Structure 1
Amino acid sequence: MGIDEIIRVVQYDDKWPALFQNEKANILQAFGEDVIDIQHFGSTSVQGMIAKPIIDILVGLKTLELNNSIINNLIELGYEGFGEAGVKGRLYFRKRQEHAYNLAVVIWNGEQWVNNLLIRNFLRDNPNAAKHYSEIKLHSINKGHTTLLAYSDEKADYVNNLLEQAKKSMVDKD
């Protein structure tokens, strides 16, 4: 299967945090002692946000060189690997079964790690920003951007703007 897929967005589901916790346990076993931290990120990690019903999981490691046993463990869990998939410094895996998951395997405390958590925390701390981002997502879908790549491209500028707002809010707190 290619990386592009049909997507949809749905209202926030209170089950998403528990789905993350359950899958986190599986991922911890798959990566063993190579994992430094695992975080729930993306819109499913922000209460009340409209999101694709796919749990985004950020896996922080010291290196992106995965050994065969980790890759085999992920395959056994049902994950398919896509390499960097257009994002430098990230290995992308996804699982599409009863529940859907995306894994972003990155360097812990590297740029991908920090930026994704900055956006998540900013949206958690700013309900108006989360509401506006939800509206952007709905607008994108309503304009016909219903495949992953088209949807991601359509909202890329907004996500970059969110990152800048999140960085600015961190500077303002200091």
Structure 2
Amino acid sequence: MAPSVEDILNKVPYDPEGVQRVAHRRVKNPIEIVEPDPSWPKTFELLKTRIISALGPTAVSLEHVGSTSVPGLPAKPIIDMDLIVEDVLDEAAYVPQLEAAGFHFLLREPGWHQHRFFCGYEPSANLHVWGQDCSEAARHKIFRDWLSKTPADRELYATMKREASAASRKANESMDEYTERKNDCVRQILERAYRDLGYIQ
């Protein structure tokens, strides 16, 4: 089941107060942007094989998203992935299996698309788990596909990422604060992507 266009356009505000912390990262990733690495897609494929083997039919789909999924885009050297499962509320169907495969369950966010979040350490990865009708996962794919085919916005986003990471490091900010610095730029780019898809005029 795919989300409607209306759901995609009506972004649910992120609320950090809604985080249910399960664990903390054993290794903290620095907010550092590096030049594009042609090995990132291959790393994703290795992780995908590990995840699909662990979950079997519970995994509906797995997408490489985030900046490492966009050819030519500088990024933090962390592979971002969106995993769609049959029933995100049925944690017994995927949490133990993912942890056995090397992914550390960090948090759940019931009020934000029932998001579950895991990290991987070797290689460094962020794994987002969603239900089948998740509009946030759809937005991630739209953003990835638009940047992949639009050099001007790819360069705009790269510049913003470098500026935001430098400012966040200087201010000793968290990853959430770094993300907040990019939000206006992301919103503007998504609007152009939505217009290209005919979602808005």
Residues 143-170 of structure 1 show CA distances to partners (whole Å, capped at 9, x for unaligned) of 2345312211111222222222211111
1:160 alignment partner in structure 2: 187
Q: Distance in 1 between matches of 2:111 and 2:165?
A: 22
| Among candidates 137, 142, 146, match of residue 118 of structure 1 | 142
Note the 1:29-48 alignment, pairs <5 A. Answer: 29-48=53-72
Range 62-71 or range 99-108, more displaced: 62-71
Secondary structure at the counterpart of residue 143 of structure 1? helix
Q: Which moved more, 1:29-38 or 1:69-78?
A: 69-78
- SS at 2:56 equivalent: helix
Q: 1:150 maps to what in 2?
A: 177
Is 1:91 matched up with 2:116?
A: yes
Output aligned runs, 1:1-174, within 5 Å: 2=24, 5-68=29-92, 70-81=94-105, 82-84=107-109, 87-97=112-122, 99-145=123-169, 147-171=174-198
Aligned-partner residue type, residue 134 of structure 1 = A
Q: 1:164 to 1:86 in 2, by over 3 A?
A: farther
Return closer, same or farther for 1:85/1:102 CA change in 2, 3 Å cut-off.
farther
Cα distance, 1:56–1:86 mapped onto 2, change above 3 Å: farther
For 1:115 and 1:6, how far apart are their aligned partners in 2?
Answer: 25
Q: Distance in 2 between matches of 1:129 and 1:141?
A: 18
- What amino acid maps onto 1:49 in structure 2? L
Residue type matched to 1:2 in 2? H
Give the 3 Å change call, closer, same or farther, for CA 161–85 of structure 1 in structure 2: farther
Instruction: After the TM superposition, list the runs of 4 or more consecutive aligned residues in structure 1 that deviate by more than 6 angstroms.
Output: none
> Is the alpha carbon distance of 1:126 and 1:89 closer, same or farther for their aligned partners in structure 2, counting shifts above 3 Å?
farther
CA distance in 2, matches of 1:85, 1:107: 11
Matched residues, number: 172
* 1:51-81 deviation line (CA, Å, top 9, x unaligned): 1100011111232123425211211222122
Q: How many angstroms apart in 2 are the aligned matches of 1:85 and 1:134?
A: 31
Range 106-115 or range 119-128, more displaced: 106-115
Q: Which moved more, 1:143-152 or 1:37-46?
A: 143-152
In terms of mean alpha carbon deviation, does 126-135 or 74-83 score higher? Answer: 74-83
For structure 2, list consecutive stretches of 5 or more residues without a partner in the other structure.
1-22
Cα distance in 2 for partners of 1:80, 1:165 equals 35
Unaligned runs of 5+ residues in structure 1 are none
